[in-house]
Amino acid sequence: MIRFLLLFSRQGKLRLQKWFTPLTDREKKKVIRDMTMLVLPRPPRSSNFVQWRDLKIVYKRYASLYFCAGLEQHDNELLALEVLHRYVELLDKYFGNVCELDIIFNFEKAYFILDEFLMGGEILETSKLAVGATMEEADTLQETMEEYMSKPAY
């Protein structure tokens, strides 16, 4: 299973954190710090896999954002790269040419999309269309017209 998924910028600012195992706030902060220190200094042409403690770390950079996942020993790293890529595709479809600002200003939507794709550290839905359809339908349940039109709801 995936233990955690982190998105952070090139300056190390956290944009999204999803934890699939219970950790204290302190432990989470430590992991985030370790990940940024592990991933950010790596030269551009390195492999996308690093061993860290007992986990395999898989990361990929998309424009200004690093997507970083921690896997268990028996997980398939090459497939994890596909998982990260699929998530980016889902975000891209939803936001239309997604960029880091979209994720900053609509972080809650990024979480909702993630929750339709992964659950408990495992893949929930393998079809892009299905996730997209679910998000659209769920958005219609938002209570006001304003919210539905994805104008700032809050």
Site residues, other proteins (CB under 8 A):
14-17, 20, 22-24, 29, 43, 45-51, 74, 76-79, 81-83, 86, 104-105, 107-108, 111-112, 115, 119-120, 122-130, 134, 137-138, 141-143, 147, 152-154
CB count in 10 Å sphere of residue 20:
17
Instruction: Select 22 or 96, whichever has its Cβ closest to other proteins.
Output: 22
Q: Please, are residues 122 and 2 in contact by the beta-carbon 8 Å criterion?
A: yes
Rounded to a whole number of angstroms, the CA Rg of the chain reads: 16
Closer to other proteins by CB, 26 or 97: give it.
Answer: 26
**Minimal distance, residue 97 CB to other proteins, in Å:** 19
Residue 142 token pair: 């938002």
- Shortest Cβ distance from residue 151 to other proteins (Å)? 9
Q: What is the dihedral of CA 76, 113, 4, 126, to 10 degrees?
A: -20
